[in-house]
Structure 1
Amino acid sequence: MAPPPCEAHTPTVLNPHPTRYADLNGVLHDLVTGAQSALGGSFVGAYLQGSFALGAGDRHSDCDFLVVVRERPDAGQEAALRALHRELPHRDGFWHRHLEGSYAVAADLRSTAGLGRPWLHVDHGSDEMEWSEHCNQPWTRWIVREHGITLVGPCPAQLMDPVPDEVLRERARTTLATLSEEVEAWCPPTVAWCQRYLVVQACRSLYTVRTGRVASKRDALRWVMVHGDPGWRPLLQQVLADRDRGLDPLDAPPPGAMEAAREFAAYAAAVA
């Protein structure tokens, strides 16, 4: 696959309109300038990944980012980044509470040999950072390289090699093999959001196995509706229709929905 064209703006000029939401663009400005201040000369670039990079981001999405750094943050840089992300979610406004992302070390990002190494990460809505492999996955770097939105910095294709199809497919198959158990280990089956998450992740992994690409949650659901067993369409339509309900710990899944989600995940693993 040919790399995407590089953005017209220069590495030192912040993209003023990375999304269609003016308030989110303001939050991203705060994020990038805060990261630049914390990192100094180690800052390389900042990018949108996830649903916004795939063209599916809306007010029901979190906003996934990746900041590339020259080397692992030292103690002072890490402390400054932790202070930034401890404060950001408590500012006024909607999008400050819906950021998620990692600080990727450039050498790790260059090739798939660096997959799985922990990066400094902040989870959706959290004000505490941790060292995590969460964003150092094949699908994350595929999205950044092929569809990432540059906030500031060089074109992402200049920072990383292409992700081979076989790496994406094999990681998706491995994920499907234990998906239900791993999701339910941290996401209670009594919460409707967890039922939807399980179905969506199974759809995304199956899509990747079949195509060697990565799709947004919405597009993966729709793809399986067309290309999967028609018997699963009612479940997939329910998950798609209920997306706007968001995450509510008191919102229970419809009767039998969690059982159907587990069965669907097993089906996806079998056909993969």
Structure 2
Amino acid sequence: MLNPHPTRYAELNGVLHVLVTGAQQALGESFVGAYVQGSFALGAGDLHSDCDFVVAVRGRPDAAQEAALRALHRDLPDRDGHWFGHLEGSYAVAADLRSVDGLGREWLYVDHGHVEMTWSTHCNQPWTRWVLREHGITLVGPCPVELVGAVPDEVLRGSARTGLASLVDDIASWCPSDVAWCQRYLVVQASRCLYTVRTGEVASKRDALRWAMVHGDPRWRPLLQQVLADRDLGLDPQDPPRPGSLEAAREFAAYVAAEA
């Protein structure tokens, strides 16, 4: 039976129902279960979040199943309602989920707001796997801990340290430096990586910023407060960073990398 109230937003719950029933029709007996992960699973999802999902499948979708899933995700963003355009997730092969040996394998993935699916490792990373196992919300199917193997502490911390080493360049490769949202994203990701290195867990964006205010060097509090206060502004390609904030964000990322 489909979970009727997975989030506090009735409209989103209806959208997830449409997503799950559509995936079940496309996959048939290959469908294993569907889950919410990401910010909503961490208890921090709001109207400025996307809704991250994972659908577990018995095997890599065949040509007919893939075509049906692609048709589903081309259709969903065009439907009326806020949340149809704010889904992001992957169709995860169940065997890949059983241990860290399956990390980094490509799954069929739809990006936030996109209509074309790709094969990507986006949702098959240590931090996404940890959130799914430890906090995933079951829409239908077995409990996540029955499907997802534990992510060892050293794997989670190691992935955060590795990400920090190239964080500034990685974000700059796809997120323009003259957009305020990209400045905020850099600070958020650096904060989340530091949180993971220190605690061996994964935090939401908001909680990672607040944690860094308390546990980081006090000189970074104004920057962290700025990013937290500006979060509700969302993504506006015409909105430039506050004066000096991009430089401060890069300095903060360097500080975090050194700390980690």
Q: Fold-level match, TM-score > 0.5? A: yes
Distance 2:106 2:150 in 1: 20
Q: Which runs of 5+ in 2 are unaligned?
A: none
The residue aligned with 1:35 is 23
Distance 2:137 2:39 in 1: 11
Distance 2:211 2:148 in 1: 28
CA deviation digits over 1:177-220, x for unaligned, max 9?
00000000000010000000000000000000000000000000
The residue aligned with 1:150 is 138
Shift of the alpha carbon at 1:156? 0.5
Distance 2:246 2:5 in 1: 40
Runs of 4+ in 1 over 4 A off after TM superposition: none
CA deviation digits over 1:70-120, x for unaligned, max 9?
000000000000000000000000000000000000111110000000000
DSSP 3-state at the match of 1:135: coil
Shift of the alpha carbon at 1:160? 1.6
The residue aligned with 1:25 is 13
The residue aligned with 1:103 is 91
Aligned pair partner of 2:118 in 130, 135, 141: 130
The residue aligned with 2:64 is 76
Shift of the alpha carbon at 1:223? 0.4
Distance 1:236 1:172 in 2: 19
Alignment of 1:182-197 (within 5 A): 182-197=170-185
Distance 1:81 1:263 in 2: 43
CA deviation digits over 1:112-143, x for unaligned, max 9?
00000000000001001000000000111110
The residue aligned with 2:36 is 48
Give the AA of the match of 1:113.
D
Matched, 1:61 2:49: yes
Aligned pair partner of 1:257 in 241, 245, 248: 245
Give the AA of the match of 2:158.
E
TM-score by length of 2: 1.00
Q: Which runs of 5+ in 1 are unaligned?
A: 1-12
Give the AA of the match of 1:157.
V
Sequence identity (%): 78
The residue aligned with 2:206 is 218
Distance 1:192 1:151 in 2: 35
Distance 1:193 1:36 in 2: 36
CA deviation digits over 1:24-73, x for unaligned, max 9?
00000000000000000000000000000000000010000000000000
**Superposition CA RMSD, Å:** 0.4
Distance 2:123 2:148 in 1: 14
DSSP 3-state at the match of 2:257: helix
CA deviation digits over 1:135-171, x for unaligned, max 9?
0001111101100000000000000211111000000
Distance 2:60 2:99 in 1: 17
Distance 1:164 1:63 in 2: 26
The residue aligned with 2:215 is 227
TM-score by length of 1: 0.95
Matched, 1:92 2:72: no
Give the AA of the match of 1:121.
Y
Aligned pair partner of 2:231 in 226, 229, 243: 243
Aligned pair partner of 1:113 in 97, 101, 113: 101
The residue aligned with 2:169 is 181
Matched length: 260
The residue aligned with 1:164 is 152
